[in-house]
Amino acid sequence: MGIRKLVLGVVLLGVSLSAQATPLPRYGLFVYSNLCWEKESGDADGERLILVRVPGSASARISYTGEGPLDEASAEDVRIAKDGRISLRYLRQYDPVTDRSNVYVTMTGRVSAEAFERIGRDGNTVRMPRVRADEEIPVCR
């Protein structure tokens, strides 16, 4: 019984350590994306966040889908805490939630070296893994 508990303890420790995210480096270009091209229609689906961190500031650009083609916007008020919490806002050309044009949308979540995660406006978790800056947008699965 003692060996079984020891093995279980080691397995649980390994799982909990692997679940911790690697902190985002202080400086650099970071691209997070869950964008893909729909196979049948060719329309884009998802979002992409391009984050640039330089000494003293951070800037971001968001690409998103909604009603119609892929849209992009520069983010404002980009704030990143030491623990990876991030907040930003951007001007969305059309917002399907409010059915209005030119609406400011605020995004908050957590950013790490591996992914950007946030709670979507529908209450579900949205995860954008980190991708290479030159990586092509894949076909949706």
Asked whether residue 39 is domain-assigned, the answer is yes
pLDDT at 66: 67
Position 94 scores a pLDDT of 81
Is the per-residue pLDDT at 5 higher than 80?
no
Inside any domain, residue 78: yes
pLDDT 10s digits, 21-42 = 899 999 999 999 999 998 888 8
Q: CB-based contacts of 54: which residues, under 8 Å, 6+ apart?
A: 27
Tens digits of residue pLDDT in 47-86: 999 999 999 999 999 998 866 678 899 999 999 999 999 9
Q: Quick check: is 64 in a domain?
A: yes
Domain-embedded: residue 16: no
Does 89 have pLDDT greater than 80? Answer: yes
pLDDT given at position 96: 77
Does residue 141 lie within any of the structural domains?
A: no
Query: Could you tell me the residue range of the domain that residue 120 belongs to?
Result: 21-131
Alpha-carbon span 96 to 34, nearest angstrom? 19
Domain count across the chain:
1
> Which residues, 6+ apart, have CB-to-CB distance to 97 below 8 Å?
121
pTM: 0.80
Residue 9 lies in a domain: no
By the 8 A CB rule, do 107 and 88 touch? Answer: yes
Domain assignment present for 54: yes
Domain contains 6 = no
- Give percent of the chain above pLDDT 70: 84
